[in-house]
Structure 1
């Protein structure tokens, strides 16, 4: 019998945010959420919640803002995923999500692998996956917004052990419905929880979604501000992966045992079909 607790409380904050300095508002919302839901052990914010879009907002990390989030996590005794922020590193700018422990320590910083090009200009792609353990609970992974459109990113985190994917998002466009279908499909194929947190107000169109390891929607938010507090059951992830989704497909075992060599991943692989698509640029 597993010694892990059956459940773990998370709150996803879909907040009405302006393209402005939102630090004090975010800290206030984090504190109020913990007071309202004392059983919550992790709080997650949306992508670029701190200031919105603009590589000019980049700061070297650790920054004063990141340290403020660390203090909040330590004072409240929570895991904190404060959305993402622009990180300046030499001449490069990354879209980065810190992972902060209840002790107020940053144990990882995930850099978005797929900036939303050609629109997210001036942002460099990261190249390192981030998974981390919550002791006696389970393994979590982090990705950001457009990363989800590349299924290899989710599968890689699951390969590395992730049972829960934390996915800050900032979508203010008409493709939000399509993103919801990607989240559901990704959770089903990878038999994991996905916590997809979008912003509302000026920054986004809302409709955050929490999906379980059998593709079940635990909550889909409206377009308004919502504090989405819920519990995940990591024992269920283990059960679904071992027995199969709804007692049927044991997808991860088949992937593990398969001997397929995918042509797109061979060293030096080039696709004539994809080459014919031309340059990655804003359409005329």
Structure 2
């Protein structure tokens, strides 16, 4: 298997009022020419059409097909951030925040619905319930999650338990808690001995400050607030070595989790923790 694999995160100016797909294509063509060793590109959450629910499409959709054609044209693996997906139902349509994984042949190899919408602020978006990993042949296994998902460590831990060696994490953060997310991204990489690639947008798509962390917990790159291409050569053998020997040849958290002596009751029976009910409903604060 190949050890090294080039991934470019795209911290792009996102508009909420026009399609951003043409701009995404221009970035991909530029990367294909300037960084021929890059084999995969990752955009920020909701990059193609922006954050308006009115853009939701029934999948497979016209926009997804345009993105698939860009992957085929450039010969790149494409993680285009996400799109709002509309699922029609007699009881009323349901909206999901959905990420498509597109291979260099332009085929949709996986779709992932964001598990944790940013409630109560995203209360009209439904949460998915299936994890998503996919294999790049002769390279390794990749996992995907979206934005608020990473605030729940169980999401990254599950993807890693499914074999993920790289977590691709598009986000759309435009709020004052971005500094906390940077800490969570680094902790997620270290706790799970995994590459964690967290790509934010700018403009209507976020405030930038994308970050890439390696499986030793070292920050490989942290962006500022402007548009930026972030080409990174990930070393999958480094992941495998860290997991065998321990993070920086020290702690071995994945093996320790596997061989633990304790059970986590909070996951088995939430009714055993009445304190959680005492916190009140999940609503926006009004005082």
TM-score where L is the length of structure 1: 0.97
RMSD between aligned residues = 1.0
Structure 1: unaligned runs, 5 residues or longer: none
Gaps of 5+ in 2: none
1:221 to partner: Cα distance: 0.5
Q: Is the 8 A contact 1:80 1:101 kept in 2?
A: yes
| Whole-angstrom CA distance in 2 between matches of 1:109 and 1:259 | 35
Partner Cα distance (1:161, 1:259) in 2: 22
CA distance in 1, matches of 2:13, 2:25: 14
Aligned to 2:4: 7
Aligned length: 281
- Equivalent residue of 1:246, what SS? helix
Q: Quote how far apart the aligned CAs of 1:270 are.
A: 4.2
Are the aligned partners of 1:191 and 1:245 in contact in 2 as well (CA < 8 Å)?
Answer: yes
Whether the 8 Å contact between 1:10 and 1:41 is mirrored in structure 2 is yes
Give me the TM-score of the superposition, normalised by structure 2: 0.96
- Deviation of 1:202 after TM superposition, in Å, equals 2.9
Please identify, of 18-27 and 200-209, the stretch whose mean Cα deviation from structure 2 is larger.
Answer: 18-27
User: Which residue in 2 is equivalent to 1:63?
Assistant: 61
| Corresponding residue SS for 2:196 | strand
Contact 1:214 1:245 in 2 (8 A): yes
Which whole-Å CA distance do the structure 2 matches of 1:24 and 1:76 have between them? 13
- Where does structure 1 differ by over 6 angstroms across 4 or more consecutive aligned residues? none
Deviation at 1:268, TM superposition (A): 5.7
What's the offset of the Cα at 1:28? Answer: 1.6
Where in structure 2 are the equivalents of 1:27-106 lying within 5 Å?
A: 27-90=25-88, 91-106=93-108
How many Å separate the matches in 2 of 1:92 and 1:275? 27
Tell me the distance in 2 between the aligned counterparts of 1:136 and 1:101. 14
Preserved contact between residue 46 and residue 168 of structure 1 (Cα < 8 Å): yes
